[in-house]
Structure 1
Amino acid sequence: MRKLLLSLAVLILPVLSVSVSADNYSIGTGGQSGIYYPFGGALAKVWSDQIDGVNVKAEVTAASVENTIKVVRGDMIAGLAMGNVVLDAYKGEGKFPAKMPVNVLFALYPNLVHAVTTAKSDIKSLADLNGQRVSLGAPGSGTAVTSAALLESLGVDVNAVYLNFSETTNALANGQIDAGFIVGGQGVGAVTQLALTHDIRILDVSAQQQATFKSKYPAYSSYTIPEGIYNKVGSVDTLSVWNVIVVKADLSEDMAYELTRTAFENIDQVRKVVKAADATTLANADSLNGVPLHPGALKYLKTVQ
């Protein structure tokens, strides 16, 4: 029996030594019907496969605000977040009562404001949302921050509910709400799926509305969604803001360098999973103005540019 136990110990010890040698981390994503979740999952796999001693898992969250808070608390090594939320955190504005020690690892892709209603609705413009039942996004999400700020800038008052992407589209399909905001990448799955089963309308943000909003929120840019991206939907004038990887400012320079290097050297693997990663390029890495890149990320970018 003693020999058997010794033999088992010899077999088990190498397994234990491997498991304890890997450092486990999380990357904050979003709901499973958006782009953040598959994007974060693809990055987690690349980092886990390519960086020795690192194991990263993608965590479902309420997205930008939650991810930023958890990164600052040290609960996550990184998180996907909308640039305006990270800028608010860095400056101590909006949802953040004090300046947060955040940096950007690199920019990912632009998020677009989708103000969605059904084609049979009488809602034809953002002004028509006044007094309507409108989903502003999940609590703690960048969508909720953006939609509330946009409506406030226009003086539009709605009966707000707070639903994630899939809840928003389900509520629209079932007539439980009149409209909903989804701030996601071009071709975001929740809007794509809804447009395949229901005739929808995506409301324009007019040039004047964009100018009014951007004067207060300079992290945003103008954007036109081309015709045909969504079934039976023409071109839509709207707003965009870059998504980024947010990290805590005191993340080690070596780790930030490795995360950035590994992501870009294996970005083709990510693009096989997420079409939006086509915009994740070295040229776009520092697209968010106002929040500094982490020194480790900057060190890598300087070696390849």
Structure 2
Amino acid sequence: MKKNKLALVLVFVLLVSLLAGCQPAAPAGDESDAPAPSGGATFINVATGGTGGTYYPLGGAMAKIFNDNIEGVTANAQATGASVENIGLVSTGETEVAFVQNDVTYYAWTGTESFAESEPIKNIRGMAMLYPEVVQIIANADAGIASIEDLAGKKVAVGAPGSGTEVNARQLLEIHGMTYDDLGKTDYLSFNEAANNLKDKNIDAAFVTGAIPTSAVTEVTQTSDIVVIPVDSAKITELIAKYPFYTEVVIPGGEYRGNDTDVITPAVMAMLVVPEDLDEELAYQMTKFLFEQRQVIVETHDRGNDIKLETALEGMPIDVHPGSQRYYDEQGIE
């Protein structure tokens, strides 16, 4: 009897050993120098703007950087209506990082201008300041437009609905004592839509806020003659007095075919905005590799040269995300 019990015990031990041996071993090499963000596989949507603007190609380059350098991440660039829409996408958790004009970010944070009818949006954080975004007024050469005042009675594209461009157009007209009612027709068009309508002569002029050169504008110049409309320095001074996010810049002659003279115009700054609750380690790695792999962006668009670690916090209009701040602290950026 004792022998039978002993045999049963031995069989039981053998079965347990066999079952244990069937469990898959932990894969070797799982550890990495850069820890993966908490929560396993992570998706990063990069909210950009229209495909004819600057945000979209830069967003694609950023997505490549994240995919190639952050473990467990799948990133992609998403075309959107740009700044105002992007703030909404970030605040509702529908995107992990977004390109936004710094003036629009401030309006959202303070509940003013485009966000005056809603509560201030406080669940967003800054990741990095990027480069100047130039407010460009492009007109068909035969439209008889040489100044902002000449837009009166003309068909004008003022930017996509919910875009920073539309805010800029409205504010520039305001400084000149004008509103959309003074225009012959107001069209809310994306960069690509505005470009196509300029080429087809369906509109006379378009506001385009973006890095120089803007691909949609360059495309128009391939088949049409255009002029870049200057803004008087005195008017830009008035604009800055009321809206301090603007600065005066010069579009160098030769940036666009047929426009060989320097043009004075206002500009704002592009920046990256993330959700307040974005994983801190993920925000740290996104910030780190944005700057350490910047060459990928440089090879995509000239504006990559303007994205510099030393200016990443200059003009930041809202609180910086703790993960991004950790990287800046390590690098001595204030």
Q: Scaled by the length of structure 1, what TM-score is found? A: 0.90
Distance in structure 2 (CA, Å) of the matches to 1:260 and 1:171: 38
**Deviation, structure 1 residue 21:** 4.3
Given residue 277 of structure 2, which amino acid in structure 1 is its aligned partner? D
- The answer to whether the Cα contact below 8 Å between 2:247 and 2:267 also exists between their aligned partners in 1 is yes
Match of 2:42 among 6, 9, 23: 23
Residue 25 of structure 1 and its aligned partner are, at CA, apart by: 2.4
SS in structure 1 of the partner of residue 156 of structure 2 = strand
Counterpart position of 2:225: 199
Q: Deviations over 1:174-195 (max 9, x none)?
A: 1111111010101110111212
Residue identity in the other structure for 2:302: K
Correspondent of 1:67 among 73, 86, 90: 86
Report the equivalent of 2:6: none
Quick one: which amino acid aligns to residue 155 of structure 2?
R
Q: For residue 38 of structure 1, what is the amino acid of its counterpart?
A: P
1:6-155 equivalence runs, <5 A: 21-96=40-115, 97-101=118-122, 102-155=124-177
Residue 175 in structure 1 maps to residue 201 in structure 2: yes
CA drift of 1:64 comes to 0.8
Residues 277-296 of structure 1: pairs in structure 2 closer than 5 A: 277-296=304-323
One-letter amino acid of the structure 2 residue matched with residue 295 of structure 1? P
1:253 corresponds to 2:285: no
Amino acid at match of 1:262: F
Q: CA deviation at 1:289?
A: 4.1
> Could you tell me how far apart the structure 2 residues matched to 1:297 and 1:87 are?
19
- 8 A contact 2:130–2:270 mirrored in 1: yes
Larger of the two Rg values belongs to structure: 2
Deviates more, 1:286-295 or 1:135-144: 286-295
| C-alpha distance after superposition, 1:71-126 (max 9, x if no partner) | 00000001011111111111111222221122210012111011010122211100
Q: For 2:109, give the aligned amino acid.
A: Y
The 1:135/1:217 distance shift into structure 2, 3 A limit, reads same
Matched position secondary structure for 2:311: coil
Aligned to 1:238: 265
State the partner residue of 2:34: none
Q: Which residue of 2 aligns with 1:9?
A: none
Using the alignment, how far apart are the partners of 1:282 and 1:49 within structure 2? 20
Q: Using the TM superposition, give the Cα deviation of residue 153 of structure 1 relative to its aligned residue in structure 2, in angstroms.
A: 2.2
- Matches of 1:64 and 1:22, distance apart in 2: 28
1:21 and 1:279 map into 2 onto residues whose CA distance is: 34
- Between the aligned partners of 1:295 and 1:288, the Cα distance in structure 2 is 17
Question: In structure 1, how many angstroms separate the alpha carbons of the residues matched to 2:221 and 2:96?
Answer: 36
Per-residue CA deviations over 1:209-241 (Å, capped at 9, x if unaligned) read: 101111111111110011111112121100111
Cα distance in 1, alignment partners of residues 315 and 99 from structure 2 = 13
Which segments of 5 or more consecutive residues in structure 1 lack a partner in the other structure? Answer: 1-13, 15-19
C-alpha contact 2:126 2:272 (8 A) present in aligned 1:
yes
Structure 2: which 5+ residue stretches go unaligned?
1-26, 28-38
Number of aligned residue pairs:
288
- Equivalent residue, structure 2, for 1:303: 330
The CA deviation at 1:168 is 0.6
Distance 1:243 1:82 in 2: 5
Aligned equivalents of 1:175 and 1:40: distance in 2? Answer: 31
**Contact 1:242 1:287 survives alignment (8 Å):** no
Q: SS of 2:127's equivalent?
A: strand
Match in the other structure for 1:214: 240
